[in-house]
Amino acid sequence: MSDYRMTIGLEIHAELKTQSKMFCGCKNAPEAYENNREPNTNICPICMGNPGTLPVINKEAVRKVLLVGTATKSKIADFTEFDRKNYFYPDIPKGYQISQYKYPLVSGGSLAGVELTRIHLEEDTARSSHEKGDSSLVDFNRAGVPLMELVTEPVIHSADEAMNFAKELQLLLQYLDVSGANMEKGEMRVEVNISISNTDTFGTKVEVKNINSFRAAGKAIDFEFDRQKALLEKGESVVQETRGWDENKEVTFSQRSKENANDYRYFPDPDLPKLTISDIPEFSSDVLKASLVELPQEKREKLKSLGIKDSDIEVYINNRGADEFFNQVEKIVPSENIQLASNYITSSVIGISKSLGQEFTTGKMEPRNFGDMIVHVVEGSLSSTGAKVVLSELVGMGGEVEDIIKEKGLAQKNDPEEIKKIMEEIIKNNPESAEGYKNGKESLLQFFVGQGMKATKGSGNPELIKKITTELLK
Ligand code: ADP
Ligand code: ZN
Ligand code: MG
């Protein structure tokens, strides 16, 4: 039997950052939730679907979806409309959700090598909680929050690829400041569609919901692959259905058989105007393009062209503070030393920041000070150990690099005579190690270098120490 190949398509929802909800004036700023945790207080007759009320389209929410579509080089719709997706569930007060069906705002395009089907705009549901045992509670504060839905083509073939796509989308949404996109907070929700097949045609797909982390998405995919494969190998078939992800047991479980689009009786919402996007000046492609920031992929390419190594690039992509500092440093440090400078940012400065409980901080250090420090390292007058001391001091206390080197006695000792004296002393005090080295135990050289660095309080030039020690031990 030939191997099964897995096919995955993603449907990702993201709550948009706007001042107000999708079709009413209720607040949607995160502050509104934080100060307003009390259930059912951030609601009004419109988002509660009371009869006789009229929804109004939130222009900013539309703009944000168009911005994402512009960043993914997708097609922005000329004509668009909102539809009612009819179904009953306690978390949708109107008995339908306003969504988009036939004419999504955005279609096509790609991200991280994955082709997109569409991106449309809809409204979020309320939150149900079933913690009370025999009864359930519904909090409508979230009902009507603008929600973007992005659908990919079924072109993904591994859990890693799926997770990579979802992470890239999260980054993009955060760079564009379109959504907080925090999965744990439910600001971004990933649903995976998975099928497997050992022929040229697609297998029956299963949709998995309730995934609240990238890790869970990967695990759910791997679990489904195994489950579907076992079914097919037994000669059974995969049922097209919606399954949930059980975070504790790390399994998927059947929730309901999949409804078809026509079960929802989609039809254009008669209360909302249809939009001709091309007639709206703020939504012209020029205006949208002009409001794009530098995107993660562009940033990667720029850093790569400067000769920065990939692991550092990913640090900058994910750490805004480090990235901003690097950009300032890049203006002062000559290009041949930029990777060296980057090493100190991604290891030492981030290390110091973490020890201070922050993602990134330069404290009292100016980019100019950092540049001076690099000059000393390049000239050989400051060792890498000394450099770390200088950085801690700069961040914590500020000051000039020259002064810190003097005060702390960090000037790297490059005087061969002085190093020779120190090493002769060390060799004299460690006759067994010296003997061992002479008898072929070469790893003992590192011991002597370590002792030399210790004796010079980290200010010895390790290369020089190594060279002199080798000569002395001949
Ligand atoms: P439905 O009509 O069931 O909503 P769609 O064709 O709209 O299905 O696709 C929904 C999602 O499922 C998309 O992300 C799509 O890429 C994915 N998908 C479609 N067919 C398959 C398949 N055979 N295997 C895996 N994913 C699929
Ligand atoms: Zn409202
Ligand atoms: Mg569909």
Structural tokens at position 332: 């002062």
Distances (CA, A) of 183 to 163, 212, 217, 304: 12, 6, 11, 29
Q: Find out whether the beta carbon of 114 lies less than 6 Å from any atom of ligand 1.
A: no
What per-residue confidence (pLDDT) applies to 154?
98
How would DSSP label each residue in 142-192? GTT-EEEEEEE-S-B-SHHHHHHHHHHHHHHHHHTTS----TTTTSEEEEE
- Ligand 1 atom nearest the C-alpha of 261 is 2
pLDDT of residue 32: 57
The whole-number pLDDT of residue 35 equals: 56
Atom of ligand 1 nearest to the CA of 202: 23
Pocket test for ligand 1, best of 12, 193, 196, 237 (most atoms within 8 A of CB): 193
Q: For ligand 1, what atom is nearest to the CA of residue 155?
A: 16
Q: Which fold has domain 416-473?
A: Arc Repressor Mutant, subunit A (1.10.10)
What pLDDT was estimated at residue 33? 58
SS3 content of the chain, % helix, strand, coil (to 5): 45, 20, 40
Give the list of residues 6+ apart from residue 425 with CB closer than 8 angstroms, or none. Answer: 455
DSSP collapsed to 3 states, 420-460:
HHHHHHHHHHCHHHHHHHHCCCCCHHHHHHHHHHHHCCCCE
Q: Which stretches of the chain drop beneath a pLDDT of 70?
A: 1-2, 30-37, 258-259, 261
> Domain segments of the chain: what residues?
5-289, 296-408, 416-473
**Ligand (nearest to CA of 259):** 1
pLDDT of residue 59: 97
Q: What is the dihedral of CA 48, 51, 54, 58, to 10 degrees?
A: 20
Q: 21 and 200 in contact (C-beta within 8 Å)?
A: no
Q: What is the pLDDT of residue 414?
A: 77
Nearest Cα residue to atom 14 of ligand 1: 9
Ligand 1 centroid from CA 181, angstroms:
23
CA of 41 relative to ligand 2 center, distance in Å: 10
- Ligand 1 centroid–CA 132 distance in Å is 35
* % pLDDT > 90, the chain: 85
Ligand 1 probe mutation, 169, 204, 205, most atoms within 8 A of CB = 205
Q: Which residues pair with 192 in a beta bridge?
A: 10, 208
- Residue 1 is predicted with a pLDDT of 52
CA neighbours within 13 Å on the CB side: how many for 130?
A: 2
**Does residue 228 have its Cβ closer than 6 Å to ligand 1?**
no
Pairwise CA distance, residues 88 & 373, whole Å:
65
pLDDT in tens, 361-393: 999 999 999 999 999 999 888 988 889 999 999
Return the residue matching tokens 């339908």.
96
Q: Do residues 345 and 322 make contact, with C-beta atoms less than 8 angstroms apart?
A: yes
Cα–Cα dist 346/360, whole Å = 10
- If you measure from the C-alpha of residue 22 to the centroid of ligand 2, how many angstroms do you get, rounded to a whole number? 8
Q: Is 151 in the pocket of ligand 1 (CB under 6 A)?
A: yes
**Computed from CA positions of residues 334, 336, 342, 347, in that sequence, does the dihedral angle turn out positive or negative?**
negative
pLDDT tens digit string along 327-369? 999 999 999 999 999 999 999 999 999 999 999 999 999 999 9
- Cα of 193 to ligand 1 centre, how many Å? 6
Query: How many angstroms separate the CA atoms of 16 and 123, rounded?
Result: 10
- pLDDT tens digit string along 146-156? 999 999 999 99
Chain centre distance of CA 135: 38
User: Residue 290 contacts by C-beta under 8 Å, 6 or more apart in sequence?
Assistant: none
